[in-house]
Structure 1
Amino acid sequence: MPQSLKSIRELADDWLALDQNEPTRKQITELLAAGNVAELDRRLRTPIQFGTAGLRAKLEAGFSRMNELTVLQASQGLAVYVSEAVPDALARGIVIGHDHRHESDAFARLTACAFITRGFTVYFLDELVHTPLVPFAVVRLNAACGVMVTASHNPASANGYKVYWANGCQIVSPHDKGIAAQIENNYKPWVWDKTLVDHSGLVHRPLKEVADKYYAQLKTLAGSTRINPLMRFMYTPMHGVGLPYAYRAASLLGARPDVNMFVVSSQATPDPDFPTVDFPNPEEKGALKLVIAAAQELGISLVMANDPDADRFSAAVMGADGKWMQLTGNELGILFAYFLFHTIVRPLPPAERAKVAMLNSTASSQILRSLAETEGFYYEETLTGFKWLGNRAIELEAQGYNVIFAFEEAIGYMFPGIHDKDGIGAMLMFLKLLRWIEDTVSGTEMTRAQGIIIVLEQIYSKYGYFEDKNSYYVALDPRVTASIFRYIRTMNSSSPSSSDADSSEHLESTSLSVYKYPVSVGARKVTYWRDLTVGYDSSTLDHQPVLPVSKSSEMITFALDSTIRVTIRGSGTEPKLKVYIEAKSTVSREASRQIAEEVWDDLAKEWFRPSQTGLLSA
């Protein structure tokens, strides 16, 4: 019988028949005893969905949550799918790593348990590792797949399960659907022995070997660059696993602990409770408060941060006026791209330039496109997420391109050596960038912010003044997000709908050639429209998008007056409706910023209508 038709008692019995973990069994039995039907329904009715982001949810008992049973089920399904889909999968094996979050070690061991039982070689990274080390290891060890247990920058109550394919990239469709089907076919535990990883002959522990190769790759990126011996910066791993990796990476450029590199002591040690930050994401407002305060105490004008699993990177600088400027993901992205252009691409003849590629996601700044078109190297945009950036980079490399950089605005940066974002590699490259800026504009520590501002102005004055307004609304009920997109898609149809009917029904009954999208936002005209949920693009002859279409995820991109680009999408891992607005002017960044703010206000008033729809402002 489908779970949707079962009673709460039947769902609870199903859970208790499968779960062998006493703490989570106790949670369900206590909820049953208390008669808490609503909570049991939330936890048991809808199974956690395996997607291209793997799994991510709150740590609790229940089929919809992250716990030992759902991780074991996912691992069993993954093992079966990989054994059938990848040649020599059992001998090639799986790489398994984990961070410091609650239950991460247990989940990693259960993952290993499932694969050992299936006969796989298991490369178990048995200390805390940062996420980029797993995809790096998959490629270096020629493994069939990899799993990293982490919830990245999500709150302490969550954990996650990220899957990498044999090419070292996060999985994309159809693998997610194939894995999900095998999870359903293998939902009964084969074995439940977390100690199996300690005595099986199939298990190898190559952490030192893999880490040494990783640092060798970083050393290649560092080249002969050395930091200014007088440079000082404050770093935070944000209670995560990044510190030992950051120390060693910085040392490749000559940085020494407590001479050049200082660390916020209260955030230095891995702590799964993240006691000093509500939301351990360097992007979040106020997340860098402690590291900035610590820097000011020592008279340091530069801070750097990784998120807890160290795959993202952020930085802030203090100007001569004492004000701090946190660089946005797009600002860091274009600074990296401009630096790489000048140091790698610019010396090349035009024919060779054309075979150098840089990528970013569709929600990221279009200034990279402008840089590429002006300077003659290759550019592409992809869907949001490094699963798309990484896989497309591999495809381009197979075609003879040298992909030297990719980024997305959510402070994710990819450099040669790993086809995924890497916050440690980004930190190293930022230090290298700063040295280049010093040599180029003669900056010193107290004018480092001015040096960055000078370079940004050089970029914007030549390639266009692009400014973004990126934020989100919280949508605690997924139906709210669905209703927003339904409203947008039907507002210009003959029968606008705000009902609960799926807007795809309206679209499927209408040819895409006459798909009626909104004609304006405020006083600005819509000049381009792409809907990657239903598969429509106003700029192509057949109105079919070039980028992949996914009916399971909401994403619309459009242009206003040809100078403003907006992307609206539902988050795949958080209860958020994300909005990315970028305006371009020929006057100044302030003019662009004002336009972006105006568009944000118009969208809020005309489309999102928080007071009516229930969306909560960030």
Structure 2
Amino acid sequence: MYVAGKGMPLHLEGEERKAKLLELGNYWCEIDYNPATKEQMKNLMESQQYSELEKSLVKRIEFGTAGLRSRMAAGFAFMNHITVQQATQGLILYLESLYSPEQLRQGAVIGFDSRYNSKSFAELAASLFISHNIPVYLFKKNNPTPFVPFAVLLKKAIIGIQITASHNPKDDNGYKVYMSNGGQLVDPHDKMIHQSILNNLDLWLIGGYDSTWVRSRVTEIYDEVAETYIERSLNYSRSRNSNSNSEPIVYTAMHGVGGETIKSMWKAWGFSPLVVVDEQIDPDPEFPTVKFPNPEEGQGALALSMKKASEIGARLVIANDPDADRMGIAEVQGDGTWRIYSGDEIAVFLLEWEISHYTDQAPAAVVASTVSSKICKAIAESIGARFEEVLTGFKWIINKSLELEGQGYKMLFSFEEAIGFCVGNHVRDKDGILAACVFNELYQERCASKGIRLSDHLERLRERYGYYLTRNKYFFCYEPVVIKSVFDNIRQEYPKAIGRFPVKYIRDLTVGYDNSQPDNKPVLPISPSTQMITFTFENGAIITLRTSGTEPKIKYYCEYHGNTLEDTRAELNELVDHMIDQLLQPQRYGLTPPSS
């Protein structure tokens, strides 16, 4: 039997290939105990949809540093009960190779968001750990993603799993893994787990699992984690005594799992009662009011929040994404329009707030992804804090944070421009819930109490630290071969200039090239499986092009540090427009811009 994920025999074409696909489909139907996905596979076979069978069965969903994430559907390429079971089997056997039986008894933490199948995927994973005598701490109801890494450290567990697809569309789901240090997987664990999965594909549970049986054999957690999380979060409150006079703000959970915890946090921090977007406060796997449940998507995603704020006269909107690990901010301006702040701008506010209250004797450290704004480097260094850049992704950020803590530094703040923020070391991952409370506190103190807007505050910070302007966006591209062509074309002959702007340095982390270094070898780790090229220009501007690890996107990140706001913006926009026309060439490659 051909095993999915190890390559369809190259010599099979035409009718032979179709026959092999049908053989694989029949095999799937034999092992699949879920009626919905089994029926889906049968329909594909009966209607002879060979292209769909090929997509579903030939290439296996790969376990990477983000764990698993894809559309929920039948087949080895997607998220479903079979691939979740196989992934968990491989993970368990890998853990058994790392830890002693005594260490394994420290157990696993398993949580889940409110998406379709999240609860059943979590219970399925729990049943497999139980079958290998590994204790399980299972959340009794859907939970914010930050609760899992928090619980891993709280319970001293060896592993944590959160079933979530974060802000992806409703048909997606995912399987996110945390190690015993509370941080996400990093290389080489991901590759070794993937190999362990491939080596152990035979299902341990042929007929599925029984939910009642699972729940009777796990330690259910939620209340303890939530209470401890909230209690410890108060260490980050700087002005709780005056919070009762706070100006009202509007909050949206984006149909996700953040609402319950945010309400409790608001009360614990002493803020004025929270005003919520009623249509979006409760978990709903349909995400009925938003096409893309992502605060980054702009006006479309935040339309109801802005409407609610206008109705009650509130000036600020705080939004969590559906699993509450990220946070977005929008503010009404003097002319009645709304300004949605970028992740870099939100980071400026949070970092300045944290450094202004830093009194610890230990040296402070700040970590950011390499595509994030360099203004935060200037802010950090203004108090002598160490600033470090890492590859994109919070797994790298937390890994570097742990390294710095081991050297005696105290983590002050870490972030990525994709609205991911970690205040202190409350959680070893991005955390939109704590970030929301800290942000509301700084907003009340820095802006509301003084009668100014965030936009005014930001201008003052730029006057102090410099005009670092960014322009970050993306194009959708659903064909991996096209994405590869875009980057291959750039590499064929790296540009010496983009428009009228000469290129000074080029760093290509996909192939391991950096001509700013004496040996042309980059300081940051190379990543052959992802596309990432950075251009540094003679005028100091920086442009990075990269692919998303979880979505079909080509992203670009552009920053320029100038002397005045107007000149800096004009120079940046000219450069970015030339870059899009010269390098990305959307019309040539059929790239689709976002709707908002």
TM range (shorter): over 0.9
Find the aligned partners of 1:89 and 1:147 in 2 and give their Cα distance: 17
Question: 1:239: which partner in 2?
Answer: 255
| Mapping of residues 195-206 of structure 1, within 5 Å | 195=210, 198-199=213-214, 203-206=218-221
Does 2:10 align with 1:33? Answer: no
Residue of structure 2 aligned with 1:487, choices 486, 489, 497 = 489
Which residue identity is paired with 1:313? M
Q: Residues 542, 230 of structure 1: CA spacing in aligned structure 2 closer, same or farther, 3 A cutoff?
A: closer
Residue of structure 1 equivalent to 2:503: 526
Q: Which digits, 9 at most, give the CA deviation of each residue in 1:463-485, with x for residues without a partner?
A: 21011111101111011111111
1:143 aligns with 2:153: no
Per the alignment, residue 364 of structure 1 pairs with 372
Tell me the amino acid that sits aligned with residue 379 of structure 2.
Answer: L
C-alpha separation in 2, matches of 1:457 and 1:202: 56
Tell me which residue corresponds to 2:12. none
Residues 119-158 of structure 1 aligned to structure 2 (within 5 Å) = 119-158=133-172
Show the counterpart of 1:15: 28
CA contact (8 A) 2:238 2:357 kept: no
Alignment RMSD (CA, Å): 1.7
Report the Cα offset of residue 224 of structure 1.
Answer: 4.5
What residue in structure 2 maps to residue 582 of structure 1? 559
Report if the CA contact (8 A) 1:82-1:89 is conserved: no
Task: Name the structure 2 match of 1:24.
Answer: 37
1:90 is displaced (CA, Å) by 2.0
Whole-angstrom distance in 1 between the partners of 2:563 and 2:478: 39
Aligned positions, number: 576
Q: Find the partner of 1:410 among 409, 418, 421.
A: 418
Matching residue of 1:471: 473
1:106–1:194 Cα contact (<8 Å) kept: no
Q: Quick check: 1:207 aligned with 2:201?
A: no
Give secondary structure in 1 for the equivalent of 2:191.
Answer: helix
**C-alpha separation in 1, matches of 2:492 and 2:591:** 19
TM-score (norm 1): 0.90
1 CA distance for matches of 2:111 and 2:235?
A: 24
Structure 2: distance between partners of 1:484 and 1:584: 28
Distance apart, 1:375 and its partner CA? 3.4
Query: CA 1:582 to 1:197, structure 2 compared with 1: closer, same or farther past 3 Å?
Result: farther
Distance 1:262 1:342, change over 3 A: same
Does residue 227 of structure 1 match 2:227? no
**2: CA distance, partners of 1:193 / 1:41:** 26
Offset of residue 578 of structure 1:
0.5
Q: Which amino acid aligns with 2:348?
A: I
Partner of 2:13: none
Q: CA deviation at 1:522?
A: 1.0
In structure 2, C-alpha distance between the alignment counterparts of 1:77 and 1:371, rounded to whole Å: 44
Deviations 1:5-47 (A, max 9, x none): 2621122133223222121111111111111111111111111
DSSP 3-state at the match of 2:96: helix
Verify the 8 A CA contact 1:222 1:252 in the aligned structure 2.
no
Taking the aligned partners of 1:106 and 1:421, their CA distance within structure 2 comes to 25
Match of 2:14 in 1: none
CA contact (8 A) 1:283 1:411 kept: yes
Q: CA deviation at 1:114?
A: 1.4
Task: Quickly say closer, same or farther: Cα 1:433–1:17, change in 2 above 3 A.
Answer: same
1:61 aligns with 2:74: yes
Tell me, in whole angstroms, the C-alpha distance in 2 between the residues paired with 1:467 and 1:307: 25
Question: How far 1:591 moved relative to its partner?
Answer: 2.4
For 2:382 and 2:463, locate their aligned partners in 1 and report how far apart those are by CA, in whole Å: 13
* Structure 2 residue 436 is matched with structure 1 residue 427: yes
Is 1:555 aligned to residue 532 of structure 2?
A: yes
2:214, 2:574 → 1: CA distance?
62
Matches of residues 307-326 of structure 1 in structure 2 within 5 Å? Answer: 307-326=321-340
- Give the aligned partner of residue 250 of structure 1: 266
Structure 2 residue aligned with 1:600, among 555, 576, 586? 576
Counterpart of 2:450 in structure 1 is 443
Please, which of 102, 125, 138 is the counterpart of residue 116 of structure 2? 102
Name the SS for the 1:154 alignment partner.
coil
Q: Distance in 1 between matches of 2:47 and 2:333?
A: 58
* Kept in 1: contact 2:123–2:214 (CA 8 A): no
Amino acid corresponding to residue 16 of structure 1 in structure 2: C
SS at match of 1:283: helix
Question: Pairwise mapping of residues 339-354 of structure 1 onto structure 2 (< 5 A)?
Answer: 339-344=353-358, 352=361
Of residues 280, 289, 304 in structure 2, which corresponds to 1:267? 280
3-state SS of paired residue (2:439): helix
Deviation, structure 1 residue 453? 2.5
Q: Distance in 2 between matches of 1:200 and 1:158?
A: 25
**Aligned-partner SS, 2:314:** coil
Q: 1:458 Cα shift? A: 2.2
Segments of 5+ residues of structure 1 without an aligned counterpart are: 492-516
SS of the aligned residue for 2:301 comes to coil
Tell me how far apart the structure 2 counterparts of residues 539 and 175 of structure 1 sit (CA, whole Å).
31
Report the more deviating stretch, 65-74 or 594-603: 594-603
Aligned structure 1 segments of 4 or more residues deviating by more than 6 angstroms: none
Identity %: 40
Matched, 1:535 2:542: no
Give the conservation status (yes or no) of the 8 Å contact 2:251–2:317: yes
SS of the residue corresponding to residue 286 of structure 2 reads coil
1:503 match: none
Question: Retained in 2: the 8 A contact 1:232–1:300?
Answer: yes
After TM superposition, give the deviation of residue 142 of structure 1 in Å.
0.8
Tell me the distance in 2 between the aligned counterparts of 1:190 and 1:490.
Answer: 48
Aligned to 1:611: 587
CA contact (8 A) 1:228 1:435 kept: no
Q: Would the aligned equivalents of 2:366 and 2:413 in 1 still touch at CA under 8 Å? A: yes
Amino acid at match of 1:431: N
Q: Matched residues in 2 for 1:336 and 1:103: separation? A: 35
Aligned twin of 2:464: 462
**Counterpart in 1 of 2:406?**
398
Partner Cα separation in structure 2 for residue 210 and residue 487 of structure 1: 50
Supply the AA of the counterpart residue of 2:415: F
Distance 2:244 2:316 in 1: 13
Match of 2:63 in 1: 50
Shift of 1:572: 0.9
Q: CA deviation at 1:162?
A: 0.5
The secondary structure found in structure 2 opposite 1:375 is: coil
Asked if the contact 2:247–2:444 (Cα under 8 Å) also holds between the matched residues in 1, the reply is no
Query: Which of 308, 326, 348 is 1:334 aligned to?
Result: 348
What is the CA-CA distance between 1:202 and the residue it aligns to? 5.0
Query: Quick one: distance in 1 between partners of 2:395 and 2:124?
Result: 25
* CA displacement at 1:201 relative to structure 2: 6.7
Partner SS for 2:78: coil
Measured after TM superposition, the shift of residue 171 of structure 1 is 0.4
Moved more, 456-465 or 58-67: 456-465
| Partner residue in 2 for 1:288 | 302
Cα shift readout 1:83-112 (whole Å, capped 9, x = no counterpart): 212344420111000011000011001111
Contact 2:504–2:538 under 8 Å retained in 1: yes
Cα pair 1:57 1:160 within 8 Å, conserved: yes
Counterpart contact for 1:585–1:591, Cα < 8 Å: yes
Q: Are the counterparts in 1 of residues 226 and 261 from structure 2 also a CA contact under 8 Å?
A: no
Aligned equivalents of 1:74 and 1:240: distance in 2? Answer: 25
Corresponding position: 1:377 with 2:385: yes
Displacement of 1:148: 0.2
Deviation of 1:292 (Å): 0.4
Amino acid at match of 1:207: Y
